[in-house]
Amino acid sequence: MALIAGVIEGFYGPPWSHADRLATIDLLAENGGNWYVWAPKAAPRHRDAWREPFTPDEIGEFGELAGCRDGVGVSVGLTPGPDATTDEVIAKLRPVVDAGVHGLTLCFDDVPELDAASRHRDLANAVRRAFGLPVWLVPTHYAGGVSSPYLERLIDGLDPEVLVMWTGSHVVCDTITVDDVNARRNATDDRPPLIWDNTPVNDALMTEALHLGPYSGRDAKIRSSIAGVLVNPMEFARASWPTIVSALAWCRGGDTITAWSREIDRLGLRRLAEATAFPDDEHWPGARPERAWWSEVAALDADAITASVGDGVRPWVDAARDGAALALRALDLAALDAGERRALAQFGLAVAAREWERRPALTFGGGPRIRPVATNDGAGRFVMDPRSVSWSTSLVADLVRRTLA
């Protein structure tokens, strides 16, 4: 069976537009992807108002997505409430199945229902029987490598055709190894996990970061032990494309960096990607970039970038340009002789740097960087890892402080 490879629009925050979904399905088709999952947390009839029937417009859009490109399946996600009945869930989903979608996803992530495993299992089995389509389940215990009473009850009697999603050893993972996958399989009666990979997503605690880097840290050996990979993107659809294309290359055994480089350059984002990287990222520009690099970042064409990937990235473009301009001022100041002119320049640089550092858009590796590096313990409860917060000084602040010193 071919590895599932695609995107799950499952983030918190403003959902994508229909046009961006269609364009992303085109991107998947052109790069070997085979699935798109609609599951945006903020879409009202997905989660908060799950009982409300999908509107005729929504059903029509699902049909258009499903018919967009041969070879790319479309799955519609639903988070049924704690009192949902089987009949209600089937009735809610029937119109989208009639519209032509290829699969259904039941999402029980981030809900306080660790005592509801049997109900989750029964709903998934019933939906599978009712429609005969691929059914995927996002469990409430979705991270880590240990079992729990919830997982044990969920797996006991679950249709073997229902795939169970997993985010890795943590909610957000720098790496996913063979040992991680084996631990999850041991905890789920040897079921190959379908990875909900929380990259390049920047929702919730991560909204100050922009993730434009390549897909990395996933051991190639796990491909034979998993059902597939669905990456969870940013709310900025087109800015997520470089990571998506890189992930698709990984899924088919290709070169992730070459695929990423091609897409990042096609979109004109290379310098912005480097300027919004963090020190451990593969596209990090180094601790002491040359003046020419700073000049190129300071000259970023904001209008061209937003025309390429949307207005949402504008705060990072502006922060990168202004930060690079500060870096150039610092380099110029370093060449001045001591005296009143240098003292005035130092004062002005310090004031400007203080204002720049107060911007919420993280650039040049500045922190604190906050991520949900959390896992589920043996009771299914979340446990936060100290790596959730990492402190670092931005390249701009480092250069300014060295210059002023």
- Give the tokens for residue 254: 């290709």
Q: What is the pLDDT of residue 336?
A: 83
Other Cβ atoms less than 10 A from the Cβ of 20: the count is 19
Q: What is the pLDDT of residue 334?
A: 83
- Report how far apart, in Å, the C-alpha atoms of 53 and of each of 21, 36, 47, 49, 268 are: 21, 21, 12, 9, 41
What digits encode the pLDDT tens for the residues 217-269? 999 999 999 999 999 999 999 999 999 999 999 999 999 999 999 999 999 99
Q: What is the pLDDT of residue 23?
A: 98
Supply the pTM of this predicted model. Answer: 0.97
- Report d(CA 101, CA 108) in Å as an integer: 20
Residue ranges of domains in the chain, CATH in brackets: 4-266 (3.20.20.80), 272-366+394-404 (no CATH)
8 Å CB contact between 75 and 36: yes
Other Cβ atoms less than 10 A from the Cβ of 299: the count is 11
Q: Which of 202, 207, 144 is nearest to 171 (CA)?
A: 144
- Give the tokens for residue 317: 């473009």
Please name the amino acid found at residue 62. Answer: F
Q: In the 8-state DSSP scheme, what is residue 32? A: T
Q: What is the pLDDT of residue 26?
A: 98
Q: What is the pLDDT of residue 187?
A: 98
Q: What is the pLDDT of residue 123?
A: 98
- Report d(CA 233, CA 278) in Å as an integer: 18
Other Cβ atoms less than 10 A from the Cβ of 293: the count is 18
Q: What is the pLDDT of residue 237?
A: 98
Between helix 340-357 and helix 395-404 the angle, nearest 10°, is 160
CA dihedral (111, 11, 7, 77) in degrees, to 10, reads 40
* Ordered per-residue pLDDT tens for the chain, 405 residues: 689 999 999 999 999 999 999 999 999 999 999 999 999 999 999 999 999 999 999 999 999 999 999 999 999 999 999 999 999 999 999 999 999 999 999 999 999 889 999 999 999 999 999 999 999 999 999 999 999 999 999 999 999 999 999 999 999 999 999 999 999 999 999 999 999 999 999 999 999 999 999 999 999 999 999 999 999 999 999 999 999 999 999 999 999 999 999 999 999 999 999 999 999 999 999 999 999 999 999 999 999 999 999 999 999 999 999 999 999 999 999 888 878 778 888 999 999 999 999 999 999 999 999 999 999 999 999 999 999 999 999 999 999 999 998
- Report how far apart, in Å, the C-alpha atoms of 339 and of each of 328, 350, 359, 401 are: 20, 17, 31, 18
8 Å CB contact between 34 and 71: yes
